Amino acid sequence: MHKPSPRLAIFLAILGCAQPEVAPTPPTPQPPTGPTAAEADAFVQQANADLRRLWVEAGKADWAYETDITDAHEKEASTKREATMAWLTEAIPKAATFRGVEGLSAASARQLHLLRINATLPAPSDPARRKELAEISTRLSGMYGKGAYCTGEGASQICRDLGQLEDVLAQDRDPAHQLEAWTGWHTIAPPMRSDYQRFVELGNAGAREIGFADMGELWRSGYDMTPAEFETEVDRLYSQVSPLYEGLHCYTRKRLNTRYGDQIAPKTGPIPAHLTGNMWAQSWENLFPLLEPFPGEPDLDPTAALQKQKWDPIQMARTAERFFTSMGLDALPETFWQRSMFTKPPGKEAVCHASAWDVEMNDDLRIKMCIKPNYDDLVTLHHELGHNYYYHAYYTLPALYQNGANDGFHEAIGDSIALSMTPGYLKQLGLVSEVSDSEKSVLNFQMQMALGKVAFLPFGRMIDQWRWDVFSGKVPSDQYNAGWWALRLKFQGVAPPTPRDEAFFDPGGKYHIPGNTPYMRYFLADILQFQFYRAMCDASGHQGPLHTCSTYGSKEAGDKLQKMLAMGSSQPWPDALEAMTGSRQMDASAILAYFEPLQGWLKEQNADQQCGW
């Protein structure tokens, strides 16, 4: 028999009534014991508002600092970084309390996940250690930005910055001069070493506080799969493209040996890093005159024409914008031309490394770059505007959705457009005088492209592998340099030109290490851009070999691109990839199809070589 509630029993007793048989009384609903879906929605809404405010404040401070490196700007940038870190330190654990809440909307669940993995530099909750991390992070960026190699003393002292030293590697074929430029730039990095070691300790402490083993596991969690699955995916993609790189490496080493001899460029083994025409051996375009398959064919390098015609930075940027608008995308806002940094400000120190910005997250598009009249910078401008057009497409979305579907998407957009800069398009710009569809001309152009795209693949693969190993402790702090060069040998087949012990900190000579910018995005982008390019070519109705396609003027290609851009990170990346390409899997078959003519030719050229290293 059901026992009446105390209130009912008292009521019946007062009436002097007998207690009849009654139907069971439904239990009184109990208030929820945990967070509710409504509370999660409110938290997400507030998080978006807070992040927008914090990111805008930090963006303004970072812009001021990177375009004018002063102690005051450094302090302000550090303060704003610390404020963002402090907010994330509190918000990320709070976000975790809403996981699995009954009735949680898909949108809130997605944004809570994005918030948890948002911080590439998670800070400890202890205010003193958080402040220390922010200061170290800002200081490392400043050390790189102010880096220079100086010789002589007093009034006779001459200092050269990165751009000037890169010019030596690009243009001066004297190996002694190249060696001096290479070793000179790397002198900026040893003072970073102790700061970087502490940076790793503090960043890992912050990662553990939000549920990750270390910063590497946090970074690998940003791809809508488990960290282990992502590592497997990276290995799969690299296995697809490594044979193409090995063929290019073998041919390049042979030609370097022919030019410099065994003492400087050995016939077998790794390539000395300073001979590749690039400070990090990540791009070999400057070796094209040495590696050109068929000299005497029409000159397809636009750099000489850019310089002869005196193209200025604005003309180069306008040309990049015009490609996007030809496909039906909007013109850049007038503020872009007013607020961007196109050249190094006179009398100021600045970070010339190219980057794209939406400082105020309201279509405040800008680029920061010290533009030179060369083909590489023209391509880079298309790359940076790709970021800007992504920002433009999603700036009205909640702050947590204002990102690429994954970070590789963001890096691939502009480069997928630049792939359409075919010889025919360059002739249309007046940058090449003659275009031929002969096999020799095709191979020359393919070589020029491969020296950028294919040469980059192993470098893009190894940078974060080094950091993952550093963050996990697999590479301890007393083996930073050894671990760096071991991976460069394994993936690139590149070796330092001089002995490099632990007195050096060569990773610090690459912007993305002191700048703490994850690098796997660039490896993924090097593959995704060809997938995007092939999809846009298909949409444009292109017929013929993939490498002959230009989507300039194709509104159909632009519509397909815009559809993906507008999604931001609101959906998992396979959904965005499917919207663009019809496939849900990243795949290197497009890059292999693009370079099919060159790959066959390299195989013939390397028939008598002992390839590999």
Check if the beta carbon of residue 516 is closer than 8 Å to that of residue 120. Answer: yes
- Which of 189, 354, 405, 535 does the annotation list as catalytic? 354
What stretches in the chain show pLDDT beneath 50? 1-21
Burial (CB count within 10 angstroms: exposed 0-12, middle 13-18, buried 19+), residue 175 = buried
In 332-397, which ranges are E strands? 355-358, 365-368
The pLDDT value recorded for residue 15 is: 33
The pLDDT value recorded for residue 32 is: 55
The span from the CA of 584 to the CA of 579, in Å, is 9
> Can 113 be counted among the known catalytic residues?
no
Q: Phi and psi dihedrals of 348, rounded to 5?
A: -125, 155
Angle, to 10 degrees, between the axis of helix 71-96 and the axis of helix 37-67? 160
The span from the CA of 504 to the CA of 609, in Å, is 34
- Which of 512, 525, 552, 590 does the annotation list as catalytic? 512
> Can 411 be counted among the known catalytic residues?
yes
The pLDDT value recorded for residue 34 is: 77
Block residue for tokens 């009735």: 103
CATH code of the domain made up of 234-605: 1.10.1370
The pLDDT value recorded for residue 376 is: 87
The pLDDT value recorded for residue 154 is: 86
Are 39-144 and 234-605 equal in CATH topology?
no
The span from the CA of 292 to the CA of 450, in Å, is 11
The pLDDT value recorded for residue 24 is: 56
The pLDDT value recorded for residue 301 is: 75
SS3 letters across 482-517: HHHHHHHHHHHCEECCCCCCCCCCHHHHCCCCCCCC
> Can 354 be counted among the known catalytic residues?
yes
In 110-211, which ranges are E strands? 148-151, 158-161
Block residue for tokens 């490196």: 69
* pLDDT cut 90: percent of the chain above it: 87
Task: Name all contacts of 254-260 with Cβ < 8 Å and 24+ positions apart.
Answer: 254/605, 254/606, 254/609, 255/287, 255/290, 255/291, 256/287, 256/290, 259/173, 259/290, 260/175
227 C-beta neighbours (distance < 10 Å), count? 18
> Which SS3 state, helix, strand or coil, does residue 309 take?
coil
> Which SS3 state, helix, strand or coil, does residue 341 take?
strand
> Can 387 be counted among the known catalytic residues?
yes
The span from the CA of 485 to the CA of 471, in Å, is 17
Q: Cα–chain-centroid distance for residue 290? A: 30
Check if the beta carbon of residue 410 is closer than 8 Å to that of residue 521. Answer: yes
> Can 410 be counted among the known catalytic residues?
no
- Which of 66, 76, 321, 411 does the annotation list as catalytic? 411
- Which of 251, 391, 522, 552 does the annotation list as catalytic? 522
- Which of 186, 382, 387, 547 does the annotation list as catalytic? 387
In 243-380, which ranges are E strands? 271-272, 355-358, 365-368
Helices (H), 327-371: 334-339
Q: Phi and psi dihedrals of 432, rounded to 5?
A: -135, 145
Q: Which tokens belong to 552?
A: 């300039």
The pLDDT value recorded for residue 28 is: 62
DSSP 371: -
Block residue for tokens 């790793």: 200
> Can 512 be counted among the known catalytic residues?
yes
Q: Which residues contact 224 (CB under 8 A, 6 or more apart)?
A: 406, 572, 573, 574
The pLDDT value recorded for residue 437 is: 79
Q: Which residues contact 272 (CB under 8 A, 6 or more apart)?
A: 264, 265, 494, 495, 496, 497
Check if the beta carbon of residue 523 is closer than 8 Å to that of residue 454. Answer: no
> Can 73 be counted among the known catalytic residues?
no
The pLDDT value recorded for residue 434 is: 81
The pLDDT value recorded for residue 14 is: 33
DSSP 478: G
Q: Where are the domains of the chain?
A: 39-144, 147-188, 234-605
> Which SS3 state, helix, strand or coil, does residue 582 take?
coil
The span from the CA of 372 to the CA of 313, in Å, is 7
> Which SS3 state, helix, strand or coil, does residue 158 take?
strand
39-144 classified as CATH 2.60.40: no
94-120: string of b/e by CB count within 10 Å (b at 16+)?
A: ebeebeebeebeeebbbbbbbbbbbbe
- Which of 64, 107, 353, 593 does the annotation list as catalytic? 353
In 226-360, which ranges are E strands? 271-272, 355-358
> Which SS3 state, helix, strand or coil, does residue 357 take?
strand
> Can 353 be counted among the known catalytic residues?
yes
- Which of 73, 383, 410, 547 does the annotation list as catalytic? 383
Intra-chain end-to-end CA distance of the chain, in Å: 86
- Which of 119, 251, 384, 392 does the annotation list as catalytic? 384
Check if the beta carbon of residue 372 is closer than 8 Å to that of residue 343. Answer: no
Check if the beta carbon of residue 73 is closer than 8 Å to that of residue 56. Answer: no
The pLDDT value recorded for residue 478 is: 97
Sign (positive/negative) of CA torsion 129, 132, 138, 141? negative
